[in-house]
Amino acid sequence: MSEPPMDTGTMGGAGARRVQRFPVQGGRNSMHQWPRIVGFWRGVWNTAIILVGRYIPWIGVKNALYRKALGMRIGRDASLGFMVMVDLFFPQLISIGENTIIGYNTTILCHEFLVDEYRIGRVEIGPNVMIGANCTILPGVSIGAGAVVSAHSLINKDVPAGAVVGGVPARPIQKNR
């Protein structure tokens, strides 16, 4: 697997996601750069494994496949629902805590391709977290232990432990439990 170019800095500011930014040159947008950034065959391998994993109904088999073939960190008794889409290019940057549930068709991203740059960041999901169906989790965020994320939410910043959040973008919808 190819290593990404050197980091040019981390996005700053209150509530900012922890991502590394990498500028691209040559007039083409950053998505055209993926084979150089990730490696062509690594991208093909990850895609094949994730496509199989999205449809496997057996949680233990899916978790083992993602751990061994993609390098994801998945805690004991964690459950990734049917059609959960993990990052194609950097799944090894995803960490999911024990006894966490990630609902149907949720997308977990560790990269963003923009016109002039791409960004990469870890996603850390704590133990005993409940993430509803059809959510999108952006790179560089952390979801704390025991948090609840309602269905159809966009997680674009950290979620504190025990918080209940929802919406686009996600905001607190109830005081911490």
pLDDT single digits (tens) 105-164: 999 999 999 999 999 999 999 999 999 999 999 999 999 999 999 999 999 999 999 999
pLDDT at residue 17, as a whole number: 82
- Burial pattern 5-16, b for ≥16 Cβ within 10 A else e, equals eeeeeeeeeeee
pLDDT of residue 9: 44
Pairing status of strand 20-23 against strand 117-120: antiparallel
Predicted confidence at residue 27, as pLDDT, reads 82
Residue 136, pLDDT score: 98
The CATH class given to the 20-174 domain equals mainly beta
State the pLDDT at residue 175.
60
Residue 39: the pLDDT is: 94
Task: Write down the pLDDT at residue 8.
Answer: 42
What three-state secondary structure class fits 118? strand
Q: What is the pLDDT of residue 28?
A: 87
Provide the token pair at 172: 């607190």
Distance in angstroms (rounded) separating the CA atoms of residues 36 and 112: 15
Task: Name the band, by pLDDT with cuts 50, 70 and 90, for residue 5.
Answer: very low
For the chain, the domains span 20-174
pLDDT for residue 10? 46
pLDDT 10s digits, 26-85: 788 999 989 989 999 999 999 999 999 999 999 999 999 999 999 999 999 999 999 999
Q: Print burial letters for 95-107: b (CB count within 10 Å at least 16), e (below 16).
A: ebbebbbbbebbe
Does the pLDDT value for residue 93 go beyond 50? yes
Confidence (pTM): 0.89
